[in-house]
Structure 1
């Protein structure tokens, strides 16, 4: 029991120590709000794609897609449970429509990388990890490798949805500007609270850019502009008819690509590229064969850059949390409800649904998959299904300039207060479950 508690606490402290370092760096003046935004954008456009590419391409293969089929099934089930809980619980509390997609993102997208990998790695080398052995010839290294493989494979599907649908959920919409204007000095328009002048300027710049785009769009639709455009088109028709005939075909392709690009992000492009590499044996052999020239140069370089992603996110998180505490003395009542509701659904209601589902698979699933007999698989699915909100969401909100303060409060309370007791209890139940069944 004591080993179990220590394993869970140590795993969570690995995350919190780096967050604390970020807070100290902010206090000493090494990181300010502008540097946080710059670092988050750099991480989003470079380091995070490197992390996703190296994690997905190295794990995925056709064989694992067939053998690990319960993992995407569990992911779909967990995502559906989260979505249904939001649809059922949020209307009961009368949450403002503005915050509903924020709550949905916090509940649907959990931490599938830093925290579960740390917990599983710690469990594998602890005394409690002996209950995770699968067969008499098993050992701690094999247990750890299997657990991390299960977690990364689960994270593959989570990352694809997070960086497409989740990324779109946390983008600024046209109706958000109307909400900001109506609320006056509300927290919607501020990156770190209405007291913070730097974030206010950043948010105002974002709104100004969008409004200038709206002006240009209205200008383009005005009668004078249309008339001028029609005249120009007539002149073009007289000069070059073949170009006019090719234009509709080209325009449809451009519009299609633009529509797809709205739901894409740099990490998602990297994930799709990793899928292509992982599922194409010749290219994967070229990239991941230890004797290959590309493995020692290109692949290792990508892996090195990817390892910087999670620490950067955690350092920025610590700096952002410290910024919030210094610039705002009291939480706004307007977003206190969505913050607390997001944490309640993610950390309390979701585990209550995940545990029985995984238990049913462990008891009856051996008929369809041998993974049901692996204690490490059962523990891994419970851990990835009960972790707090994904830290990467803070990165998305900071770049998009919306829901920043709300997201930081969700992450602060989730990881700083609730995560240790809840995750310790969940891991204890998982180990108790496999110990009694195998």
Structure 2
């Protein structure tokens, strides 16, 4: 007969296994920490590697892990993750509000506590811990999957974390950035205070590195306009380019056709009039080429063919615009208004999608497409196929760089953000220690105490198969007590919100409390799995 607790290691052995997993993360991060302290890994290099990771390595990791694991049935079952995320967010919010009231904080420090409590790290540290635990802990194999192995366990854990990460990313850069960690000037009680101007512009190289916790590079933010120029989860800047603010985008980033429309004004019923046939601003490259600029020989034939193609395409486009305009003008007024409304909504949705999407999300979308088509999944991931031996293998090797690189940059980040910083805010100097204690309680203690029984009830009584997956339960428990998100330090530096306290929170969370916290969370998760699997 199976004795109690036989499904997981004894407590002393479990301590050793968890210590091994945490130490693996620490060892990889330590290299980045040491190099940064020696002065060989400055902010610009960290930013470059973090952006490179977000643009290339992390999308490759996401694609290989998700596309090989997903199928239609799992996609339906994964709907439980947003439900758990919402419950965790509500619990963390209520806990942080209660803690702020207990410490008698005013609105601004109370919002800071809420941000620290609600937004946990769902990317760098949890992913590394899940991969390490999948290789060290036995008993994590799912009995519903024949032949389950450690690599499959790690892949499923990354899949679960990525979904939690994107949900948190959306809330963090909207509610968190604009409300909870808003600049001091946004609060009425601080309107009379003298606020130093331009501080973030002078310290732009000191901001926390984007990409560590899912952010894709929103560092090019004009602090003179506070948060109005910020685009949540925007595109990652590429070397040699710059990100224009939305205020500039209407004139600088729009297409030539839209610039032409703005130039000619609005037509009937609020719609842009079609540009005239002589409008050279529509296709400036085509009209700006002089005949004498065209070279002789084969290259000249190529240039002439290219120009001819562009002229034909311009003619077709102009004809389509004219026909569409005439057709639209011939419609009844109510139909025109309806079409205008539909077009406006579609334009806003399209803009939101392109602003929100980033390389990891595109990789996730591509993985879902491949996983949803069985023939594609076989083509990419069946041993011996040409695509598997070439494309998939190359993508898999590239994705293997993502997690170590995340940890190296994390260590370098901590080297800078845990150094002593002189507070220029008298309020921070007065209540800094209380803010630190309240933040740790709100993020790493009380949410775990409340969510542990909730997750246990879900695992025991909710008839969804992934709740039986041991690694899913571990992921949920790790997220309930994970340290505060690294992106919060970046937001605090942008908006000048309790930066010294934020540095202390990072040190306490990621250096002092990470080992005991991880040990307790893993023990609770394994006990929950065992209790849920036991017969009633």
Aligned to 1:162: 168
Which of the numbers 303, 307, 314 marks the counterpart of 2:400? 307
Partner of residue 207 from structure 1, selected from 223, 227, 238: 223
Q: In 2 relative to 1, CA 169–15 (structure 1 residues): closer, same or farther, beyond 3 Å?
A: farther
Could you say if the C-alpha distance between residues 18 and 329 of structure 1 is closer, same or farther in structure 2, counting changes exceeding 3 Å?
farther
Measure how far apart 1:40 and its partner are: 2.0
Counterpart-to-counterpart distance in 1, 2:346 and 2:76: 35
2:372 maps to 279
Q: SS at 1:30's partner residue?
A: coil
Q: Answer yes or no: is 1:94 the counterpart of 2:84.
A: no
Could you say which residue in structure 1 is the equivalent of 2:442? 345
| In 2, Cα distance between equivalents of 1:39 and 1:148 | 24
Assess if the C-alpha contact under 8 Å between 1:383 and 1:427 holds in 2: yes
Deviations 1:328-376 (A, max 9, x none): 25696639466554432221112112221233345445xx356666666
- CA distance 1:302–1:395, change in 2 (3 Å): farther
Residues 176/98 of structure 1: CA separation in 2 closer, same or farther (3 Å cut): farther
Q: Check the 8 A contact 1:167/1:265 in 2, yes or no.
A: no
Q: Distance in 1 between matches of 2:220 and 2:75?
A: 46
SS of 2:482's partner is: coil
Residue 39 of structure 2 aligns to a residue whose secondary structure is coil
In the aligned structure 2, how far is the partner of 1:396 from the partner of 1:278? 35
Q: Which residues of 2 match residues 39-438 of structure 1 at below 5 A?
A: 39-65=49-75, 73-86=83-96, 89-90=99-100, 93-96=105-108, 99=112, 102-103=115-116, 106-107=119-120, 109=122, 112-124=126-138, 129=139, 142=148, 144=150, 147-169=153-175, 176=183, 184-185=195-196, 189-190=199-200, 198-199=205-206, 206-207=222-223, 239=276, 242=322, 253-326=346-419, 328=421, 334=428, 336=432, 340-365=437-462, 368-369=463-464, 378-379=473-474, 381-390=476-485, 393=487, 409-432=504-527, 438=534
User: Which moves more between the two structures, 316-325 or 413-422?
Assistant: 316-325
Structure 1 regions of 5+ residues with no counterpart? 221-227
Q: 1:292 to 1:348 in 2, by over 3 A?
A: same
1:45 and 1:414 mapped to 2: Cα distance? 28
Q: Which moved more, 1:339-348 or 1:92-101?
A: 92-101
Secondary structure of 1:157's aligned partner: helix
Q: Structure 1 102/425 Cα, relative in aligned 2: closer, same or farther at 3 Å?
A: closer
How big is the shift at 1:60?
1.2
Return closer, same or farther for 1:300/1:327 CA change in 2, 3 Å cut-off: farther
Contact kept, 8 Å, 1:150 with 1:380, in 2: the verdict is no
Contact map agreement 1:172 1:402 (CA 8 A) in 2: no
Q: Deviations over 1:282-321 (max 9, x none)?
A: 2222222222222222222222222222222222222122
CA gap 1:318/1:256 in 2 versus in 1, 3 angstroms: same
| Cα distance in 2 between the residues matched to 1:429 and 1:48 | 30
Mapped partners of 1:416, 1:150: distance in 2? 27
In the alignment, is the contact (CA less than 8 A) between 1:343 and 1:414 conserved in 2? Answer: yes
Displacement of 1:172 after TM fit? 7.1
Once the two structures are overlaid, the 10-residue window that deviates more, 256-265 or 235-244, is 235-244
Q: Is the 8 A contact 1:40 1:398 kept in 2?
A: no
Distance 1:44 1:256, change over 3 A: same
- Structure number with higher relative contact order (C-alpha < 8 Å, ≥ 6 residues apart): 1
Instruction: Tell me the SS of whatever aligns to 2:40.
Output: coil
Q: Distance in 2 between matches of 1:177 and 1:229?
A: 37
CA RMSD of aligned residues (A): 4.8
For 1:348 and 1:120, how far apart are their aligned partners in 2? Answer: 24
Please identify the structure whose Cα radius of gyration is greater.
2
The size of the alignment, in residue pairs, is 416
User: More helix per residue: 1 or 2?
Assistant: 1
Secondary structure at the residue paired with 2:409? helix
Contact 1:170 1:403 in 2 (8 A): no
- Aligned counterpart, 1:25: 35
Gaps of 5+ in 2: 1-10, 208-217, 231-243, 253-260, 278-320, 329-338
